[in-house]
Each structure stands twice: as C-alpha cells, then as structure tokens.
Amino acid sequence: MSYSLYKVVHLLGVFIVIMAMGGAIVLGTANEEARSRWKKLAMITHGSGLALALLGGFGLLARMGISGMWPGWVFVKVLIWLTLGGAATLALRVPRFSTPLWWGSILLAGVATYMANYKPF
C-alpha cells in the first residue's frame, strides 16, 4: 500500500476512536436503557478505530523506513493509543470521570497530532 493510503487508514481510525470516545463518555452518564442499546456499538466502533489507527500507523512507519528502535515520538503515540484504548471502558464504568476523559481525549489527540507533524524527538 502507498504512504497516502496508510495515512488515510490511520486518520480514519483516529477519527473513529475520537467519535467512539465521545459516545462512550456520554453513555457512561446515560440511563440504563440507552446504555444497553448503544454500548455494544460504541465499543465495537472504538475497537475497530483502534485497529485501523494501529494498522495505518505501523504502515506509515514502514513506509518512512523506521524499523528497529523507534524514535521517542513513536513511543508517545503508542502510549496515547494505549491510553485511549482503555479510556472507553473507564468512561462506561466510572461516570464521574466523564468530564476529565472528554477534555483528556481532546488533549491527547492534540499531542498525537503534534508528535506526528513535528517529530520533536
């Protein structure tokens, strides 16, 4: 696959993850009827987005010729990926964390964008 196609897959995955995070956060504070109706869809969407982001991200690394020891910015992005991966479950199980998770997800997306564009280390 080309660099451009990997980038599209990666960004699509990121957009899906952020959308699903918003859904999981809102569902965490919703009534039981709404939770039972939408929880499965939110979690499937979240997992699919994580998989696409990971596939596209590692495809991009391969196209950039990065193998072996990763640069620091890649470690930061993997850590963000792991954090967002667990955050949806936390949002559903601990509703009092909804507001910090909402703003934290936006902040993490910004940090990941910065790392990808500027590759500071």
d(CA 35, CA 28): 7
Q: Does the pLDDT at position 27 exceed 90?
A: yes
Question: In residues, how long is the chain?
Answer: 121
Domain boundaries of the chain, sorted by first residue? 3-118
Other CB atoms within 10 A of residue 105 CB:
22
Write the Ramachandran bin of 39: left for phi over 0, alpha for psi from -120 to 50, otherwise beta: alpha
d(CA 39, CA 54): 23
Q: Does the pLDDT at position 36 exceed 90?
A: no
Q: Does the pLDDT at position 34 exceed 90?
A: no
Contact 20, 45 (CB under 8 A): yes
The DSSP secondary-structure symbol of 68 reads S
- Per-residue confidence at 17, pLDDT binned at 50, 70, 90? very high
Q: What is the pLDDT of residues 38-95, one digit of tens each?
A: 999 999 999 999 999 999 999 999 999 999 999 999 999 999 999 999 999 999 999 9
pLDDT of residue 107: 98
d(CA 2, CA 64): 11
d(CA 13, CA 84): 12
Average pLDDT for 32-36: 87
d(CA 24, CA 2): 33
